[in-house]
Amino acid sequence: MGALGGSGAGAVLEHKFRLWFQAYARVDVTDGGRPAFSQSARPCPADGFRYAGIATINHLRGLQPWAGAPPIFSHSKITLDTQRTAFYNFPNISINYSKKRKERPLHMAYFFENPSRTFSEYLLIPGYSGPDCIPNNVNLKAPLVKYARGEEPELSINIPLTSAIMQAVSDDNMAVALAREGGMSFIYCSQAIEEQAAMVRRAKSHKAGFVTSDSNISPDATLVDIQALKHRTGHSTVAVTSDGTPNGKLVGLVTSRDYRVSRMDGTELVRTFMTPIDKLITAPPGTTLKEANDIIWDHKLNCLPVVDEQGTLVHMVFRKDYDSHKANPLELLDKHKQYVVGAGINTRDYAERIPALIEAGADILCIDSSEGYSEWQKQTIAWVRENYGNTVKIGAGNVVDGEGFRFLADAGADFIKVGIGGGSICITREQKGIGRGQATAVIDVSDARNEYFNRTGTYIPICSDGGIVHDYHFTLALAMGADFLMLGRYFAMFDESPTNRVSIGGSYMKEYWGEGSARARNWQRYDLGGKDGLSFEEGVDSYVPYAGSLKDNLGITLSKMRSTMCNCGALTIPEFQDKAKLTLVSATSIVEGGAHDVILKESVAPKGYTQT
């Protein structure tokens, strides 16, 4: 195709060019307010979800010649952009993209033409990888809250992963462990306000090496009590405080070097064998982590108590925690060098819960609901804006289409969660027939987000929540437009989740249950008004395979994500989304993608067999 041009001022142009736009879209072109062209969508066989139209503009007047115009180009990666006229150098032309629904009979549901698809139905097509495109150069940083065009978000995460607002997943231990790796947890809200606030407070006080002592005892306890405490916590260093609490007056420390069980009968009082306060090296509040580490190394200590002027124990700094801090360069910290922590809320008691969570130090909130396209969420966000303005960040959801996205965007949500019924323990689709395939939902909401950004200049991140089965689904969700993910089952498998580890049939498992299960009874999450309580279950109680520590497993997952992005020629998530190419796969090609037509050794090796 040729370049745009003309014979002079007032020339009449006749030119055909290709416009790419979304399904159910319509393009209207005007010349100085006069209709110039209108075109509906038609299927493009080269792409599963992109559509094309051919535009003929033959009466665009008043255009000046433009000798340096590039060829009109056609490409499926052009996104909806009301500023596209600048690219074509049409000074008087505006191009408007609008959704258009098919006409349908009265009293009949609207039908989406395309099926509802899952992540497993797609694959990525590799792109060119340059010499600098290596996994170590990949940056997985992602925005967490909305921001204006040309600005930076107030909150970002260093890896695009958050843990779900679930009893079986996100407590203060998970919050610390995930923030240490660069992600963030939303501490669950299906508990008393005071208990949730206490979890937030504990996670925030774990200030990148400064921890609140969780092994404490009074000086009048005995050696037997010390042994029981050590067995319960797994920690050999015990703070001795006047009242046995984490923030009591420090009177001494007990370590494994202070007693010998073989030479003691167990009735000895702690005060008789502890190392007393006057022989301890301590530090005052305000000591930096570097200063604390210098003291530890200079005096060959394993731990350093931080004690205020009244002698109250404030924090403990352990040598091993500093080493861990240095080994985690991506850890997610706020301006006070504390871990970033999120918290879930509901649409019932938010007026009491939110102030308590903010006072405890929560950095961001998220409405925990199975369905976010509701007046209740709008009212909750409005209450936050009325009482806190934009100083408190709040996410909303869940939605599965552009209509739901636009509702929550207009309501003022800082990020929007996508997904209904895709979680491994969720049975909402079975119980109510409500939901959408997660891949289709993410694609649709991403398109709405992009259109909203082009129209308003405000970018609202979207979070893909549910539907993740395999590690490669992480990158597929990002390629489809998600900014970050929320995961339940994945994090429930690790040591850091708050559930019990049990042995089932000779294999270790972790308990995992949904918020809509009879065990959790989180009726507020499914609240549609009316009486309190859970009318029927929308979740199950289950087990997931025990996988060990979060750090080890997450490291493997992130390595796969970085490698996949490099295969597509991208070093950042935005670049990955721009360059990614997706293809639908058939059932046969899914089989082809795994091991096939061979006999796997582990399936036939006799018990006790070892290869030599």
DSSP string of 541-555?
A: EEEEE--B-HHHHHH
- Report the C-alpha dihedral over residues 608, 609, 611, 612, rounded to 10 degrees: 80
DSSP state of 454: H
Q: Is the predicted pLDDT of residue 18 greater than 70, yes or no?
A: no
Give the per-residue pLDDT at 423: 82
pLDDT bucket at 276, cuts 50 / 70 / 90? very high
With H, G, I as helix, E, B as strand and everything else as coil, classify residue 201.
helix
DSSP state of 557: H
Closest by CA to 144, choosing from 365, 294, 374, 307, is 365
Average confidence (pLDDT) over 198-214: 84
Task: Report the percent of the chain where pLDDT is more than 70.
Answer: 77
Give the per-residue pLDDT at 230: 85
Give the per-residue pLDDT at 211: 79
Give the per-residue pLDDT at 542: 84
Residue 417, token pair as written in the block:
């969660």
Q: Which domains can be identified in the chain, with CATH numbers?
A: 13-99 (no CATH), 135-207+331-581 (3.20.20.70), 210-326 (3.10.580.10)
Range with lowest mean pLDDT among 169-178, 240-249, 312-321, 523-532:
523-532
H or E segment to which residue 216 belongs? strand 216-217
Q: Is the predicted pLDDT of residue 6 greater than 50, yes or no?
A: no
Q: Is the predicted pLDDT of residue 294 greater than 80, yes or no?
A: yes
Q: Which of 25-39, 56-70, 319-333, 499-513 has the highest mean pLDDT?
A: 499-513
Greater confidence, 220 or 37?
220
pLDDT bucket at 73, cuts 50 / 70 / 90? very low
Per residue in 255-264, pLDDT tens? 988 998 888 9
Q: Is the predicted pLDDT of residue 52 greater than 70, yes or no?
A: no
Average confidence (pLDDT) over 573-601: 86
On whether the CB atoms of residues 546 and 508 are closer than 8 A, the answer is: yes
Give the per-residue pLDDT at 104: 56
Average confidence (pLDDT) over 480-499: 96
Give the per-residue pLDDT at 108: 81
Q: Which amino acid is at 478?
A: L
Average confidence (pLDDT) over 524-534: 57
Average confidence (pLDDT) over 308-324: 84
Average confidence (pLDDT) over 559-565: 98
Mean pLDDT taken over the chain: 81
With H, G, I as helix, E, B as strand and everything else as coil, classify residue 275.
strand
H or E segment to which residue 560 belongs? helix 550-567
Average confidence (pLDDT) over 31-44: 47
Range with lowest mean pLDDT among 24-28, 276-280, 407-411, 535-539:
24-28
Q: Is the predicted pLDDT of residue 213 greater than 80, yes or no?
A: yes
Over the range 404-425, which residues count as b (16 or more CB within 10 Å of their CB) and which as e?
bbbbbbebbbbbbbbbbbbbbb
Give the per-residue pLDDT at 540: 80
Q: Where are the alpha helices (H) located in 327-366, listed in sequence order?
A: 350-360
Q: Is the predicted pLDDT of residue 390 greater than 60, yes or no?
A: yes
Average confidence (pLDDT) over 433-452: 94
Give the per-residue pLDDT at 153: 97
Closest by CA to 97, choosing from 30, 152, 188, 173, is 30
Give the per-residue pLDDT at 533: 58
On whether the CB atoms of residues 359 and 388 are closer than 8 A, the answer is: no
Orientation of helix 550-567 relative to helix 172-181, angle to 10°: 40
Give the per-residue pLDDT at 84: 34
pLDDT bucket at 325, cuts 50 / 70 / 90? low
Taken as a whole, the chain contains a residue count of 612
H or E segment to which residue 235 belongs? none
Among candidate residues 525, 562, 566, 568, the one labeled active-site is 525
Active-site residue flag, 201:
no
Average confidence (pLDDT) over 508-530: 71
Give the per-residue pLDDT at 44: 38
Give the per-residue pLDDT at 24: 35
Give the per-residue pLDDT at 112: 85
Active-site residue flag, 426:
yes
Give the per-residue pLDDT at 428: 77
Average confidence (pLDDT) over 219-233: 89
pLDDT bucket at 27, cuts 50 / 70 / 90? very low
Task: Report the percent of the chain where pLDDT is more than 90.
Answer: 57
Give the per-residue pLDDT at 328: 86
Secondary structure of 281-321 in HEC code, one letter for each residue: CCECCCCCHHHHHHHHHHCCCCEEEEECCCCEEEEEEEHHH
Q: Is the predicted pLDDT of residue 320 greater than 50, yes or no?
A: yes
Average confidence (pLDDT) over 187-202: 95
Q: Is the predicted pLDDT of residue 354 greater than 50, yes or no?
A: yes
Give the per-residue pLDDT at 7: 35
pLDDT bucket at 207, cuts 50 / 70 / 90? low
Closest by CA to 372, choosing from 433, 428, 419, is 419
CA angle 366, 370, 375 (to 5 degrees): 75
Average confidence (pLDDT) over 245-249: 92
Give the per-residue pLDDT at 19: 39
Average confidence (pLDDT) over 99-110: 62
Q: How far apart are CA 604 and CA 228, in angstroms?
A: 46
Q: Is the predicted pLDDT of residue 531 greater than 90, yes or no?
A: no
Whole-Å CA distances, 299 to 10, 239, 280, 302, 365? 85, 19, 11, 9, 42
Q: Is the predicted pLDDT of residue 51 greater than 50, yes or no?
A: no
Rg (CA), the chain: 29
pLDDT bucket at 61, cuts 50 / 70 / 90? very low
On whether the CB atoms of residues 420 and 468 are closer than 8 A, the answer is: no
Among candidate residues 426, 463, 566, 568, the one labeled active-site is 426
Give the per-residue pLDDT at 56: 37
